[in-house]
Chains A and B, each alone.
Chain A
Amino acid sequence: MHSKDNAKAPLLLFWGAALCACIAAIPLVYLAIRIGGAGVSQIVSILTRLRTWETVGISVGLAVVVVTACLLISYPTALLLTRTQLPLRRFWFTTVALPLAIPSYVAAYAWVALFPGMNGFWAAALVLTAVSFPYVLLPLLISLRSADIGLEQVARSLGKKSTAAFFATTFRQSIPAAAAGSLLVALYVLSDFGAVALLRVDALTRVIYTSYRASFDRSNAAVLAGMLVILAVILISLERKARGRSLRFRADKGVASITVPKALTPILSALSSLWFIAIAVISLGIPITSLLIRLAEGTRRPLDWAELMNAVVNTAWISALGAVIAVLLALPIAALSSKFHRKSTSTIESISYSGLALPGIVIGLSLVYLSLNTVPFLYQSFVLLAFAYAVLFLPKSLGASRSSLEAVPPALAQVAQTLGYSPLRAWLYTSGRISLPGIAAGGLLVMLTAMKELPATLMLRPTGFDTLATELWSRTELAAFGAAAPYALALILLAATPSFALSRSFLTSEKETMVVV
């Protein structure tokens, strides 16, 4: 919002930020090195295997099915919420955002615990749709709510019927929002490890994990990880484009006229209510009921509180460490890019966003190879696990730090300087001090997200170090569903916190919000 100086950044800040970006890029670079080390003939042989393309096909197919299902759910839902006098409208408005609070593997566990034997492609599609459709629905709600109804009214005055008018105007305006949301869902599905692994779908993430575990064919894991990264990069760049377009569309507009919600006939009212009840049952009711049944049933052994507390404490501190590293890496980059707008600065920024294109399983894999081959004393160390969290969730911390730093007028630091403060002190006492709450909130978001992280934790955790996610995982693998329930509940409570904040900011403001993937 404030004009950026075209001036050169101080050298120290520039190189500090460049260093942080390079550190964040280590996993990606090492993965490339590892793939290259496999040799051309081996890469070719992996790429020509039918099995490889089957795996890619399953991942892509799953993404396509889930995205389609999300769109089919979100459009009618969004229209009912924004355009009609649906009974309990406010209640449903809040409820539809809640599935974001359920990590995919917790949802998968809950379904499997209720219907043992449930597995395969369609089961995974169902579970992933149920947890990820809010990524499409929420941006769509915003878009439809802010769409200029004036255009639709003009179309109707020009003789179009109401549905035709809607499709010609408002629907078109909503396409970029729906596209951006769909791409996020696709990224979510491609990166997901927990649900596909629990439901035994041979998608890329699961095959990477099993090849790595089998350990005789690690090049296969690396090459598949590379393919996953390429798919993720494609999705991210498409998402950027779609989001850019949706913002431009909004910026061009003047004052929008607001829709008057339509009254529904009793029959339509009942049908719509049924629709919402069905969504709530599938996305929230079934997982939570299953969880509660398992919790009530208990285990044959009583719950080991010490073990649970141990996992909670482990999860909390290792995630906090990751968050601290993420904030430290993000700060110089955010300080640079919030103030100096140049080509070199935006390159640094894009490099540091590489965490977005690296699913947890890929970061885990890359850091395992890196530590084994070059720094063996770091293999399965706390530092390496915390570092994995930091790289994975750096974009969140960076986004939060950057936007809160950008909100501080640069004149403040200049005034402090004219009052005798050195550049660094001036920054600390003004921009740094004022944006502290935002930076801290970004750190907290990283911590809360890292607490639910599964695949990288599985691969990198020190032997005997258990977190909530790994405890849930190992119990579910053994079909000890009752014993897993308290961990699942704890994870949902953790995940609910940022999702709640996220959905609130989604609904109360139209600002761009970072999305939990």
Chain B
Amino acid sequence: MSAISIQGLSAGYGGEAVISDISFELAEQQLLAILGPSGSGKSTLLKTIAGFITPLKGSITLDGVLVSSTTSFIPPEKRNIGLVPQEGSLFPHLDVSANIGFGIKRDPNSRQRVEELLEIIDMTEFAHARPQELSGGQQQRVALARALAPKPKLILLDEPFTALDTSLRAQMRDDIRSILTLTSTTAIMVTHDQEEALATADQLAIMQGGKLIAFGTPLSLYNNPQSIAVAQLLGQINVIPAVVEADHSVRTDFGVSATQDSGELNPGESGALIIRPEAIAIGEQLTPNATIVDSLFHGHDSLISVRMDSGLVVKLREPTRIIREPGERCSVSVTRPGTFLRS
């Protein structure tokens, strides 16, 4: 049984739908990242799941129990869903222990549970610290522990890393990831940072304009996107005009290349091949077929623009060994199959 199942969900404020026709299922102990630009409706989706917004259409089923539909509605306090908001979300008048214990006051074992969680988030020595005395990362860990305390069926994280310094983010991502694994918790995280989404999630949902435009594992969505919009949201791409040949292979300026789903292609069809910059390489020993336009040095790698002899400009990424000078001749080839999208 899936931990959460959403069917045909539309919701919004004052009768106006902000998100519409959202459907997906998430298995237990999985972490789903919802990625989308601001205004795409991802926070609205999160609030609807939490129960702060009643749906206009569709349903939400949590662990086999229908919690939201147009006819039945379980209020937030009875859903057993944990919430970790963006920032400054700790109760400022309570210390760390009291914050974590806030939701389990009536539980006779609450003290034990708080200590257990303090250990999990590695903050035992801060038990009596005030939220104001903690760093941003520590605050978010306490907020997570507070949400985990009543052993919720699902944890919702609303852009949990936005308030943190870039240097802290990667560390926090790993911390939260491992805490969730350790506690076998199913979680949904909202983010607008594609790197964060790809690095943290088991499943990825991509939202745009209030609609769910893609759902799948980060790897499959990255390597085999279903639309240019999805491909672009997950990183830089080259869109290269292509035509399907009689043998179902795809012809581009790079010559003939295999694609990932070539079985479904009809000969003669035209469209575009989506190729990531890291799937294109400069090979030194072959006859040159391109000229370097410019080169952006990023430290660990460089992003290089080249103009193919046919006039097409493509971007490629290579580990930085030498700085490529504009005007330099080189030979460029595709090292990994791209994805063909019909136009």
Contact = CB atoms under 8 A, between A and B. Distances in A.
Interface stretch (A214-222, A259-267, A413-421, A484-492): A413-421
Interface stretch (A95-103, A189-197, A395-403, A426-434): A426-434
Contacts of B91: 412, 430, 434
Interface string B102-115: 11000000000000
B77 A420 contact: yes
Contacts of B152: 418
Interface in B141-175: 143, 146-147, 149-150, 152, 156
A415 B77 contact: no
Interface stretch (B81-89, B218-226, B273-281, B322-330): B81-89
Given A7-B13, A419-B150, A420-B103, A414 B77 contact: no
B50 A414 contact: yes
A226 interface: no
B14 interface: yes
B114 to A, nearest CB: 13
A407 to B, nearest CB: 10
B92 A422 contact: no
A163 to B, nearest CB: 48
Contact of B103 (A8, A411, A419): A419
Which residue of B76, B83, B147 has the most chain A CB atoms within 10 A of its CB atom? B76
Nearest to A434: B93
B53 interface: yes
Which residue of A411, A416, A418, A429 has the most chain B CB atoms within 10 A of its CB atom? A418
A422 B14 CA distance: 22
A409 interface: yes
Given A7-B13, A7-B53, A417 B76 contact: yes
A6 interface: yes
Contacts of B52: 7, 414, 417
B53 A415 contact: no
A421 B77 contact: yes
A415 B14 contact: no
Contacts of A5: 13
Nearest to B78: A420
Nearest to B90: A412
Given A7-B53, A419-B146, A409 B89 contact: yes
Contacts of B78: 420
Interface string A3-24: 0011110000000000000000
Nearest to A417: B76
B86 A420 contact: no
A421 B106 CA distance: 12
A37 B257 CA distance: 93
A412 B52 CA distance: 13
Given A418-B147, A419-B103, A412 B93 contact: no
Interface residues of A, number: 22
Nearest to B102: A419
B281 to A, nearest CB: 47
B146 A411 contact: no
Contacts of A433: 93
Contacts of A412: 89, 91
B104 to A, nearest CB: 8
B102 A416 contact: yes
Contacts of A419: 77, 82, 102-103, 146-147, 149-150
B336 interface: no
Contacts of A6: 13-14
B79 interface: yes
Nearest to B76: A417
Contacts of A418: 50, 76-77, 79, 81-83, 103, 147, 152, 156
A51 B126 CA distance: 75
Interface string A189-214: 00000000000000000000000000
Nearest to B103: A419
Contacts of A7: 13-14, 52-53
A9 to B, nearest CB: 12
Nearest to B47: A414
A411 B89 contact: yes
A424 B256 CA distance: 66
Interface string A43-75: 000000000000000000000000000000000
Contact of B89 (A8, A415, A420, A421): A415
Contacts of A415: 83, 85, 89, 143, 146-147
Given A7-B53, A430-B91, A434-B91, A414 B146 contact: no
A422 B103 CA distance: 12
Which residue of A412, A415, A420, A429 has the most chain B CB atoms within 10 A of its CB atom? A415
Contacts of A423: 75, 77
A419 B103 CA distance: 5
A414 B76 contact: yes
Nearest to A411: B85
Given A7-B13, A417-B77, A418-B50, A434 B82 contact: no
Interface string B47-58: 000101100000
A457 B103 CA distance: 49
Contacts of B81: 418
Contacts of B88: 409, 411
Contacts of B82: 418-419
A414 B147 CA distance: 12
A227 B39 CA distance: 50
A414 B102 contact: no
Which residue of A416, A422, A426, A434 has the most chain B CB atoms within 10 A of its CB atom? A416
Contacts of A416: 102-103
B164 to A, nearest CB: 16
A417 B77 CA distance: 5
Nearest to B18: A6
Nearest to B101: A419
B29 to A, nearest CB: 20
Nearest to A416: B102
Interface in A375-412: 409, 411-412
Contacts of A434: 91-93
Given A416-B102, A434-B91, A8 B14 contact: yes
B73 to A, nearest CB: 13
A419 B152 CA distance: 9
Contacts of B89: 409, 411-412, 415
B150 A420 contact: yes
A412 B79 CA distance: 17
A414 B50 CA distance: 9
A54 B81 CA distance: 70
A159 B91 CA distance: 56
B55 to A, nearest CB: 14
Contacts of B149: 419
Contacts of A417: 52, 75-77
A208 B265 CA distance: 92
9 contacts: A7-B13, A411-B88, A414-B76, A415-B146, A417-B52, A418-B76, A418-B147, A419-B149, A421-B103
* Complex A-B, nearest 6 residue pairs according to Cβ-Cβ distance, in ascending order: A419-B103, A411-B85, A418-B83, A417-B76, A6-B13, A417-B77
Interface of B: 13-14, 50, 52-53, 75-79, 81-83, 85-86, 88-89, 91-93, 102-103, 143, 146-147, 149-150, 152, 156
Given A7-B13, A418-B76, A418-B147, 19 more contacts: A7-B52, A7-B53, A409-B85, A414-B52, A414-B76, A414-B83, A415-B83, A415-B89, A415-B147, A417-B52, A417-B75, A418-B81, A418-B82, A418-B103, A418-B152, A419-B102, A420-B77, A421-B77, A422-B75
